[in-house]
Amino acid sequence: MFPVHCQLYFCRLSHEATSELLKNPETRLISCSISATLKAKYPPVPLTDRPQNRHARRWVSIALLSQPAAGSARSRRGPAAWTRAGRGVRAPPDWPQRGARGRCRGGRRREAARRMGTRAGFFEVEILDWKTKEQLCFLDKVEPNATIREIRLMFHKLYPRWYPARQSIKLDPRKSLRDEEILQHLPVGTTATLYFKDLGPQIGWTTVFLIEYTGPLFIYFLFYFRMPFVYGLDERFTSSPHPVVNLACICHSFHYIKRLIETVFVHRFSHGTMPLRNIVKNCLYYWGFAAWLAYYINHPLYTPPSYGKKQINFAVIMFLLCEAGNFSIHVALSDLQKNGSKTRKIPYPTKNPFTWLFFFVSCPNYTYEVGTWISFTIMTQCVPVGLFTLLCFIQMTVWAKDKHCTYLREFKDYPSLRMPIIPFLL
Ligand SMILES: NC(=O)c1ccc[n+]([C@@H]2O[C@H](COP(=O)([O-])OP(=O)(O)OC[C@H]3O[C@@H](n4cnc5c(N)ncnc54)[C@H](OP(=O)(O)O)[C@@H]3O)[C@@H](O)[C@H]2O)c1
The 3-state DSSP class for residue 123 equals strand
What are the tens digits of pLDDT across the range 154-211?
999 999 999 888 899 998 867 788 888 898 888 888 788 899 999 888 888 888 888 9
Say how far residue 172 (Cα) sits from the centre of its chain: 14
286, 263 contact by CB (below 8 A)? no
Among the listed residues 352, 320, 318, the one whose alpha carbon sits nearest the alpha carbon of residue 255? 320
CA distance 155 to 166: 11
Among the listed residues 103, 104, 79, the one whose alpha carbon sits nearest the alpha carbon of residue 91? 79
More confident residue, 360 or 71: 360
So what's the pLDDT on residue 28?
38
CA distance 404 to 420: 5
What are the tens digits of pLDDT across the range 280-314?
888 999 999 999 999 999 999 999 999 999 999 99
Probe target for ligand 1 pocket from 206, 267, 342, with the most ligand atoms within 8 Å of CB: 267
Atom of ligand 1 nearest to the CA of 407: 31
CA distance 120 to 190: 9
Probe target for ligand 1 pocket from 330, 367, 411, with the most ligand atoms within 8 Å of CB: 330
pLDDT at 23 over 60: no
Query: For atom 15 of ligand 1, which residue has the closest CA?
Result: 399
Hey, what amino acid is at 376?
F
Lowest-confidence region among 58-67, 109-118, 170-179, 195-204: 58-67
Map out the domains of the chain as residue ranges: 6-117, 123-200, 203-410
Among the listed residues 149, 151, 128, the one whose alpha carbon sits nearest the alpha carbon of residue 140? 151
Query: For atom 37 of ligand 1, which residue has the closest CA?
Result: 269
CA distance 191 to 125: 6
CA distance 305 to 242: 10
So what's the pLDDT on residue 17?
54
Residue 72 CA to ligand 1 center (angstroms) comes to 50
Instruction: Return mean pLDDT, the chain.
Output: 78
Query: For atom 6 of ligand 1, which residue has the closest CA?
Result: 396
So what's the pLDDT on residue 24?
53
Question: How many degrees, rounded to 5, is the angle at CA 154 between CA 194 and CA 85?
Answer: 40
**Radius of gyration over alpha carbons of the chain, in Å?**
29
pLDDT at 59 over 70: no
So what's the pLDDT on residue 6?
41
Band the pLDDT of 268: cuts 50, 70, 90. Answer: confident
Residues within 6 Å of ligand 1 by CB = 267-271, 326, 333, 336-337, 344-345, 347, 363, 365-366, 369, 392, 395-396, 399
27, 68 contact by CB (below 8 A)? yes
Query: Who contacts 135 (Cβ-Cβ below 8 Å, separation ≥6)?
Result: 96, 98, 99, 101, 102, 126, 127, 128, 129
What are the tens digits of pLDDT across the range 351-404?
999 999 999 999 999 999 999 999 999 999 999 999 999 999 999 999 999 999
CATH fold label, 123-200: Ubiquitin-like (UB roll) (3.10.20)
pLDDT at 100 over 50: no
Residue 121 CA to ligand 1 center (angstroms) comes to 41
